[in-house]
Chain A
Amino acid sequence: MKEVSFKIDGRDCKAEKGQNLIEAAKQNGIFIPTLCYFKHLNPLGSCRVCTVKQNGKPIAGCTVSIAEGMDIEVNTPELLDNRKAILEMMFVEGNHFCPSCEKSGDCQMQNLGYETGIRYTRFPHLFVDRIVDARPERIVVNQNRCIKCKRCIEEVITNDGFKVFNFTNRGNQTLVSVDYEQEAKLSEAQAEHAMHICPTGSILVKGKTFGKPFGDRQFDYAHEGQNIPLTDIKKQVKSNKRKMRVATTSLAGCFGCHMSLLDVDLGLLDLIELVEFNKSPLTDIKKFTERCDIGLIEGGCCNTDNIEVLREFRKNCDILVSVGECAIWGGLPAIRNTVPLEDCLKEAYLDSLTSEEGETVIPHHEDIPKILNKVYSNHEVVKIDYHIPGCPPNANHIWNVVKNLLFEEEFSISYPEFKYD
């Protein structure tokens, strides 16, 4: 094979003529993230995460074959942001509740989320309610997690040559459907292969999902020692010398983020030297007594009271930070967003195991907050300045961000500290 030279982001690279760009870039030490690209399959070009520019024209990187003199752009600010945006689209398009997902830690999409440093999605979550299909013999397909990468469609084929998966419908209704007859022909190993190549937790094999415990999975310790680039964290200049005032609250959350904050351990002693807490469950101060420099919000908004508290915080704090997944996009409480409110209330108050036979009253009173039609993220209600992802975020992560915001200290977070689950 003939060797040719080409350029990636202005750097001279060499590869075999006709080689796939993803591979060629890897050989030259440049990583182009992908979700649908898969070794021997024809380039699928479906996820578009690998979008690059070839001689100035945007194209999916996995569909480029190297030729002499090509000029490829991979990591320009525009393309990096674009890559992040596409991933965010995938996160909002399905329901990706990482903390409750069997594939967490083995999920390529989750891992790519960490790697690209997604802290929150710019797009609103769509909260779809798609089918979780457990009818196949060995496999469970959770359509809520599928990103339509097409890998399984092309790769999973029975011994006698039939496709097991295929797209049905179109537009945003597109699903990957299973052929039950063909699926039953798969061997255990073939079924596990299907689970393995799925870049998310959409295809699972019954009884095999916890083969490896959380914590020991392929991405759990990947990139240890590496730091996450948080390039777009902005700085706010503060010059006064007084003690900084902090307020915190937990809206529709579990207080786990507050617990995590306490994990700063001895750091708390330093903390108390530097800042004072105003309204916060930690101090039990119920009302703002002074204007605060920073407000930390845990949890999203699920009732009218949450909205009022959040607005109160916005009014009284210079900087507002959403802490944890629930605050950022709804998190676990938002699982209810895929179910009609009426069903939720009935399940909770009328049809539950503990409710009286023939119960018809759903609790309501002018003094009880009203339940909203769905759980809202905080930035849908007020302007939020920063987001700290995690479920819960690591204590050091929270502390570092707060220090950074208040005292302009340089910091970066190590990879294991930057986790959503």
Chain B
Amino acid sequence: MDRTQLLNKLWEFQHRLGYISKESISTLSKKLNVSTVEIESVVSFYHFFHKKPTGKHTIYLNNSIISDLKGFEDVKATFEKETGCSFGEYGNKEFSLFETSCIGMSDQEPAALINFQPFTDLTPSKVRNIIQKIKNGENVKDFSSKTISKIHYTPDDDKTVIFRNYELGKSVKEGLKFTPQEIIDKIYKSKLKGCGGAFFDVGYKWQSCKRNEDTEKYIICNADEGEPGTFKDRAIFQHLPGLVIEGMILAGYATGAKEGIIYLRAEYQYFKQKLEDLIQEFYTQNLLGKNIQSIDGFDFEIRIQLGAGSYVCGAASALIESMQGRRGEPPVRMWSATKHGFKHKPTVVNNVESLAYASRIIELGEDYFLSMGTKETPGTKLISISGDVAKAGIYEIEYGTSIRELLGIEMAQATAPYYVQVSGPSGECVSPAEFDRKICMEDILCGGSFMVFNRTRDILHILRNFMEFFKEESCGVCTPCRAGNFILNEKVKKMQRGLASQDDVDEIKKWGKIIKLSSRCGLGKSSPNSLIFSIDKFKDYYNLKIAPSNEFQNVEFDMEAAIHEFDSIIKDTQL
């Protein structure tokens, strides 16, 4: 057995038995000829793999901040009441309840996955209904929610890039009129930037992979859309999956790769079958397979690799580790993936949206793309808007659109917006004073997540949710990220209890800088961002949260909390 098959094998066990037993681990370790602890290390890294038996129905309820705004607590309580199980425990034979980070449904929260089928817009009575149906023996597949997101906005007809008519195979056929180098030149010229959040030049990536003389190369489509608040990749897959596949084929043609792999996050496995059917259709039409469109020697295959629940695997280097059947730890960066990537071969890792844009650019021409947007970032961008807005959903906007426009009456219709989180927890928060900032390379970039919070929301509550998320999702290898995020989270807790002083606020900034400076990968380098930015951007708010200094230099100390435990033990032992 090949190590790259490990995740698939583990999924087989997980689906069949509901958990990965000691025996399964031991079988796999023999097959791979490694010690059992090595398999255990992989199993325990991904949160959809369990080492203890789970019930027949596993329920993963999203605990992201958007879910929280939309009624997470009530829904959670109802799930517990109806199933008689508690969250985070393994429950009974029928049900196991777990919380999970954002599942890409921020426009339909609260949302849960029940046996990996989506259930969205949950309310307590809807939950009661669902559990009743399950208890009646109905199959969850038959009554799961329709999750297709509404496309609320596209620029005027002549400016829409992604959400326009699609004809299967059109971009590939158009692309094959050019030489591979010409394709790369076109992408290069279009200045297309990676849409996953890093905004790395797509043309540059393709070029450096092409330059590599190795005969074995890979194109990976990064569909591990894990940044809380983003769901644009899911929208593309549900509306126009063909575009992504064509983007991969073109990338293969341009760079000389023969194999493409879609790394699909486990949360999205409910449309895996549809995607596979479509890939089959491409094979039938000779858009995949051998000698594509009768071009001699142009072979390209695509398969889907399922992730298993890990945010950090959205980073290209960790994603490659994960595909190779290891823990999704971002390795020490010695080379770029285009030199030594998957199986140490040159690899291009592109985001779903980037690949969709690539095929549109080939189809429509780079000049069309260049005629829109700003100088540094031409064209359009998909934004997923959620939170306190009337119209949550997908927006295709021209680069250079301001935050105010996005929030305005023509678009999302936000009510009393106060705090906007651009690019998710690892991005940047924006206060009303900055609403005129524009989404583009020259000003503020947006990876896709755009969460809006109104005046009634508590900023520390939002940030606490973010810090809990990073604490949970840190891979655990490097000290500053593993320990630092935990420590910062403790600080936020302290502030929520009203015990923080100006010193604490200053320390958050200083400590955040240390984590950013010394962390190994992007997770730790960006996790303290929102916290640090918010302190300067929402000064008035923080001033109210800080305890005033006192004459005796006593630190704010919660004596009541410190003796509460003793008091209650004494009460317990008294008759």
Interface positions of A (Cβ within 8 A of B): 42-49, 51, 58, 60, 63, 78, 81-82, 85-86, 89-90, 92-93, 122-124, 126, 147-148, 150, 162-174, 177-179, 181-182, 304, 307, 311, 314-315, 341-342, 345, 360-362, 364, 370-374, 376, 379-383
Contact = CB atoms under 8 A, between A and B. Distances in A.
Per CB-CB distance, the 8 closest pairs between chain A and chain B, nearest first, are: A174-B476, A179-B37, A383-B553, A45-B332, A166-B41, A93-B483, A162-B35, A89-B483
B565 interface: yes
A173 B476 contact: yes
Interface in B541-575: 552-555, 557, 559, 561-567, 569-570, 573
A97 B507 CA distance: 26
A212 B57 CA distance: 56
A171 B473 contact: yes
B327 A167 contact: yes
B476 A170 contact: yes
B486 interface: yes
A373 B561 contact: yes
B511 interface: yes
Interface of B: 34-38, 40-41, 44-45, 310, 327, 332-334, 471-480, 482-487, 490, 507, 511, 514, 517-520, 552-555, 557, 559, 561-567, 569-570, 573
B332 A89 contact: no
A162 to B, nearest CB: 4
A165 B563 CA distance: 42
A123 B511 contact: yes
Nearest to B486: A172
Given A314-B553, A382-B552, 17 more contacts: A45-B332, A63-B334, A78-B517, A93-B483, A148-B477, A164-B35, A170-B476, A172-B485, A182-B35, A311-B552, A364-B570, A370-B566, A371-B566, A372-B563, A373-B563, A381-B557, A382-B555
Contact of B476 (A42, A86, A169, A371): A169
B131 to A, nearest CB: 30
A168 to B, nearest CB: 4
Contacts of A48: 478-480, 518-520
A170 B552 contact: no
A360 B573 contact: yes
B44 A345 contact: no
Contact of A150 (B472, B477, B557): B477
B190 to A, nearest CB: 29
Contacts of B564: 373
B38 A82 contact: no
Nearest to A45: B332
B483 A82 contact: no
A314 B552 contact: yes
A58 B521 CA distance: 11
Contacts of A43: 332
A243 B511 CA distance: 41
Nearest to B499: A380
B332 A376 contact: no
Chain A CB within 10 A, most for which of B37, B471, B487, B511: B37
A51 B35 contact: no
A46 B552 contact: no
A44 B332 contact: yes
B480 A86 contact: yes
Nearest to B482: A172
A167 B554 CA distance: 42
A70 to B, nearest CB: 15
23 contacts: A46-B478, A46-B520, A51-B517, A63-B333, A85-B511, A89-B479, A89-B484, A90-B479, A93-B479, A122-B507, A126-B487, A148-B477, A163-B38, A166-B35, A167-B41, A168-B37, A168-B45, A170-B327, A174-B477, A304-B563, A314-B552, A362-B570, A383-B553
